[in-house]
Structure formats: structure tokens, C-alpha cells
Chains A and B, each alone.
Chain A
Amino acid sequence: NAGVMQNPRHLVRRRGQEARLRCSPMKGHSHVYWYRQLPEEGLKFMVYLQKENIIDESGMPKERFSAEFPKEGPSILRIQQVVRGDSAAYFCASSPMPGRTGNTIYFGEGSWLTVV
């Protein structure tokens, strides 16, 4: 499968636990984006990363949330000490290096986090 791969697809965590969501971009893509979709809401931008570099994290909550995209391996979105309000679908997207004529992002199937 050459698409954006996210895992796990579904994750259940108790309040206070940690959630780790993984994303492998499409082959040849160097940029990764994380979005959050709350029930009955649209997609909210969270963070935009390149290998070993956070380009834009203006949508990330200031506390408990972090993201990385190491030189080797998938991008990780980490949520510490989860609360019920973190329950949402988290989507990863990837793109090649943005070109002069714009940029198209391609989405994974999402990771659904439920906090109980």
C-alpha cells in the first residue's frame, strides 16, 4: 500500500494515560501534517513537520501534545495525560516538498482515539 499509513486505527485510553499515534507518509513524501477532527466538526490543523524539524505547530495545544518526525521511522503524535476532550479522530496527511505551483496533501485513514 503506497498510501499514508496510520496506526492504530482505533485506540482506547483511560484518563491520565498516554496516547501515541503513528503516521508513515506516502513514499517520496517528506512533509507530514496532523489534523484533529472532533465529532460533528471539521478538520483543525495541528502541526506540520519535515524530517527532524517542526515547521508550524500553531494549532497544537500548549500542553500535553507533542509531535515528532524523526530521521528514521514514522511521525508520532503524542498526547500525555489524556482527558475526555481529547477523544477525536486524528488524521495524518503527507506531501512532497511544496513546489512553486502549490502543494497537495494526501490523507491517511485516521486514528480514532476514545478516552474513557
Chain B
Amino acid sequence: AQSVTQPDIHITVSEGASLELRCNYSYGATPYLFWYVQSPGQGLQLLLKYFSGDTLVQGIKGFEAEFKRSQSSFNLRKPSVHWSDAAEYFCAVGARHSGGFKTIFGAGTRLFVKA
């Protein structure tokens, strides 16, 4: 079964600073990897996904993530954080199971942005 670890429960960065959110996964085969963002009281919005091909994927809102198979990681990055990026970020891994496809989420990292 697949699993996801987000080591940082919360992170604080200054507005304009760079950001990296860590994600490690466990899965025996090629994983399908996702990052979602959740604002308070809202659902989850897909930021980006990796299925195959180029290991550096671009997403919405200026985010990108890099798949590193050797490290079982899929870290999310943004070069310059805006105050509106304050939210909770979830890494997820999808995998095929008998009869379908299951997506499992990490515990999330809450991002605080200070002026």
C-alpha cells in the first residue's frame, strides 16, 4: 500500500522569500503524485501532478515540484511567496488497486506568510 509523509507540520516564510515543502512517498511501483492546496473552510484545489515524463512539473499559481525517484520525494517549490499563498498544502500519491485507483494524502503542511 502507498503512503505519504510530509515532515513539516507548519512552515513560516517571509513574503517574497522562496518556499520548499517536503514530501516523501512510499510505493513499490511508479507513483502518481499530486500537490493540492486548501484554504480555510474550502475544498482542495489541485496545484500540479506528476504521472510520467519530465520530472520537474509546473503548476498553477507559480508552483513547481520535482520528482526524485532516488529519494522517493516530490517537493513543492515556489521562488517568491505571496501573502495569498498562506494555506494548507497536501501531497498525495495515487496508485492502482484491484478495481480502481486510490489516492492517499499526507497529513499536510500549513504555510504561514509573514510580512
Give residues in A with beta carbon < 8 Å to B: 4, 31, 33, 35, 41-45, 48, 50, 55-56, 91, 93, 95, 98, 101-110
Contacts between the two chains (Cβ within 8 Å), count: 62
The answer to whether A41 touches B107, judged by C-beta atoms less than 8 angstroms apart, is yes
* Residue count of chain B within 8 Å CB distance of chain A: 25
- Is B104's CB under 8 angstroms from A102's CB? no
Q: How far is the CA of A41 from the CA of B109 in the complex (A)?
A: 10
The 6 closest A-B pairs by CB, nearest first: A98-B101, A42-B107, A103-B101, A102-B32, A107-B43, A102-B51
Question: Do B52 and A101 have beta carbons less than 8 Å apart?
Answer: yes
Complex: how many Å from CA A75 to CA B101? 18
Question: Can you identify 28 A-B contacts, CB atoms within 8 angstroms?
Answer: A31-B101, A33-B103, A41-B107, A42-B105, A42-B108, A43-B90, A43-B105, A44-B105, A45-B103, A45-B105, A48-B100, A55-B99, A55-B100, A56-B99, A91-B44, A95-B101, A101-B51, A101-B52, A102-B49, A102-B51, A103-B103, A104-B34, A104-B46, A104-B49, A105-B94, A107-B43, A108-B43, A110-B43
Measured CB to CB, the nearest residue on chain B to A41 is B107
Q: Are A98 and B96 in contact (CB under 8 A)?
A: yes
Extra contacts besides A41-B107, A110-B42 (15): CB < 8 Å: A31-B100, A42-B108, A43-B44, A45-B103, A50-B100, A56-B100, A91-B43, A91-B44, A93-B44, A103-B101, A104-B34, A105-B94, A107-B44, A109-B42, A110-B43
Across the two chains, which residue of chain A brings its CB closest to B33?
A: A102
Minimum CB distance partner of B52 in chain A: A101
Residue of A nearest to B103 (CB): A105
State the majority secondary structure of interface residues on A. Answer: strand
Whether A102 touches B100, Cβ cut-off 8 Å, given contacts A42-B105, A42-B106, is no
Q: Are B107 and A98 in contact (CB under 8 A)?
A: no
